[in-house]
Structure 1
């Protein structure tokens, strides 16, 4: 370290420019009178006495009288201890700043924008483990492998786990045929086009980041029911409905579990139109009070906005576009009849978070 760098370091440690210059010169001279020191550095003679007094107060030098006021540098132990403690504190501050920048704690704000994908990914792993009802995830093959432990935990907790998997045919890496989905995923679909990272958990939390080929790196963290619903439709239309299924752990025979009323209606409408008996257990929320409800009974009819006389029938499973509006079914539970809707239900009696078809007989 040369003199100029030492000067800068002393100023960073809290000395003024004149104090650093005077102390630097005194280290070279060993001892000097005030006027000799002023001549040896850039401190004006009129200021040298004030500078020496301040350095003595800080413990850098000591002054004494010998015909005139003289000064010498103190044993540097105290100075060195101060400088090293400052260095330790600055290093710790640098580490803390890095930690806070890379992984900021996500509070209860509705929407957070972050700079780094790592922040999004770490948040995703955390909320997947907390999933109780449904996980919808769009990932690359490598990202899937990293999130597999969290997905397995969600699956074992009873969440329905849907994974839209992207593999790049021009890049070496695992193919979907070689990937392990059992005990981790309820259903997986596959695409080869670049895909953004999208995660939706329990209708409330969303993590989003552009795909790897995007020019911008950022992430969006959402903790809001309505905003997550917007991402849900993006996931359904672009990352799920149009893709080929490559794995399913769903049973063809009851009990069959649904987290999406639209999916349930699509599956049961053909059999219901043939006068089948469909019994189900519905868990969800009373749309009037917000209270948790659980109902068991028989599904007697289905309704959706795109329904016409020609769409009802055994061979006419409704397209997703026909289910974009209101979708519901009627459940007769004992002496009472309830209308059951899905995510965002307002007109129905119950917003279902899970429908379990327990019996389906022609």
Structure 2
């Protein structure tokens, strides 16, 4: 006869009492039995067996009936099987949660999280991109880019501006990547150095994942204006501006902007004494932290011309760059990532008309 000790233990772990597990397995072997017959195959005291069978019946595991004396049978083993499987799934879920807790921050703050592993950080970045509404900046290896293709494709389908800096010389998918560009990106550049994984989402979330022999493995996710601004400048200056474009959905014509300096460059080229440029700005009110959507005329610009003056110092690239727009009789200043002095921190901007 099979050793049923392991099954008794499993049933006990799934919520059966010790007596219930033993009585149930005894009845499973006999299929249909009286109390007297059941006491011969299990060690539950006869005086307790009546109550145990009633409890099992109330739980839906057995049926009892009278034929001179109390008898019990198992009409269907499914309820007990389902109970064990539910318990197994709970254990599996608990194991996953333990693993997630291990991978998640060693410390947490309202706005900053540090992850234990590169993989966990990339998964968090993917989840943030999956919820993006406006803009995504991404520096990624070809291998990771293929893994994230479905998420990026969905983002593009939602109208999100997706800029990707592909890390040169990484991964085994170089041949298949270009055909994906129209589906997963608004613009792609080739970053001629192997860098860390970087993601910037909707002007508020910054992600950095590190995995190398010098620094080890960890990740940082920040929903913090200052840190995200620093990471944005690192992306723009180190990973984006110096490199050649591999793909753009509209070469030479940008209708949706996620960089304040780029819209300033185009506004300056379009403005004349006789014509005015009108823009729409979607962003965050720097005082109330609420989302805003403003459309109005550009009345002034404040910037350091890094596009015309190639001798400008590195420090000068951090000088304020902003638009001043007039809407409904009010004037607003609009800045980009990290905007503090301006009224609005822009997430997405569009030139709506020239009049």
TM over 0.5: yes
For each residue in 1:113-157, what CA deviation from the matched residue of structure 2 results, as whole angstroms up to 9, or x when unmatched?
322222112112111101112111110111101011111122222
Cα distance change, pair 251–115 in 1 and its aligned pair in 2 (3 A): same
| Deviation, structure 1 residue 111 | 2.7
- What secondary structure, in the 3-state scheme, does the structure 2 residue paired with 1:301 have? strand
Per the alignment, do residues 275 and 108 of structure 1 end up closer, same or farther by CA in structure 2, a change over 3 Å counting? farther
Q: Is the 8 A contact 2:146 2:177 kept in 1?
A: no
Maintained 8 Å contact 1:167/1:176: no
Relative to structure 1, the CA distance from residue 93 to residue 269 in structure 2 (aligned partners, 3 Å threshold; closer, same or farther) is closer
Which residue does the alignment assign to 1:76? Answer: none
Residue of structure 1 equivalent to 2:348: 354
Query: 1:267 touches 1:317 (CA, 8 Å); kept in 2?
Result: no
Seen in structure 2, the aligned counterparts of structure 1 residues 189 and 333 have a Cα distance that, compared at 3 Å, is: same
Match for residue 339 of structure 2?
345
Question: How far apart are 1:326 and its partner, in Å?
Answer: 0.9
Q: How does 1:293-304 map to 2 (within 5 A)?
A: 293-304=292-303
Identify if the C-alpha distance between structure 1 residues 121 and 177 changes in structure 2 by more than 3 Å, giving closer, same or farther: closer
- Closer, same or farther in 2 for the Cα pair 1:124/1:174, shift >3 Å? same
Aligned mates of 2:250, 2:102 — CA distance in 1: 38
Q: TM-score, normalised by structure 2?
A: 0.64
In structure 1, the gaps of 5 or more residues are 1-87
Partner of 2:210: 210
Q: In the aligned structure 2, how far is the partner of 1:93 from the partner of 1:343?
A: 39
Provide the C-alpha distance between the structure 1 equivalents of 2:276 and 2:93, rounded to a whole number of angstroms: 67
1:347/1:268 CA distance change after superposition, 3 Å:
same
Q: Does the C-alpha gap of structure 1 residues 303 and 203 become closer, same or farther in structure 2, counting only changes over 3 Å?
A: same
Partner in structure 1 of residue 144 of structure 2: 143
Deviates more, 1:141-150 or 1:318-327: 318-327
State the distance in 1 between where 2:343 and 2:239 align.
30
Q: Give SS of 1:210's match.
A: strand
- Partner deviation per Cα, 1:157-212 (whole Å, 9 max, x = no partner): 2221111101318x754148734111311111102311111112123322222255
Cα pair 2:287 2:343 within 8 Å, conserved: yes
Which residue of structure 2 aligns with residue 282 of structure 1?
A: 281
Q: Secondary structure at the match of 2:144?
A: helix
Matches within 5 A, 1:65-104: 95=95, 99-100=99-100, 103-104=103-104
Alignment length (residue pairs): 264
- Equivalents in 1 of 2:340, 2:205: separation in Å? 20
Tell me, in whole angstroms, the C-alpha distance in 2 between the residues paired with 1:297 and 1:96: 50
Which secondary structure does the structure 2 equivalent of 1:180 belong to?
helix
TM-score normalised by length of structure 1: 0.63
Q: Which runs of 5+ in 2 are unaligned?
A: 1-87
C-alpha distance in 1 between matches for 2:301 and 2:191: 32
Separation in structure 1 between the aligned mates of residue 347 and residue 229 of structure 2, nearest angstrom: 13
Which of 1 and 2 has greater Rg? 1
Matches within 5 A, 1:296-315: 296-304=295-303, 306=304
Q: Hey, what's the Cα distance between the residues in 2 that align with 1:197 and 1:103?
A: 17
Q: Is the 8 A contact 1:299 1:331 kept in 2?
A: yes
With over 3 angstroms needed to count, the CA separation of the structure-2 counterparts of 1:199 and 1:288, relative to structure 1, is: closer
Taking structure 1 as reference, are residues 347 and 109 closer, same or farther at Cα in structure 2, changes over 3 Å only? closer
In 1, are the aligned partners of 2:114 and 2:218 still within 8 Å (CA)?
Answer: yes
Matched, 1:159 2:160: yes
Distance 1:126 1:302, change over 3 A: same
2:117 maps to 116
Alignment of 1:21-100 (within 5 A): 95=95, 99-100=99-100
Question: Does the 8 Å contact 1:166/1:194 carry over to 2?
Answer: yes
What per-residue deviation string (whole Å, max 9, x for no partner) do you get for residues 2-39 of structure 1? Answer: xxxxxxxxxxxxxxxxxxxxxxxxxxxxxxxxxxxxxx
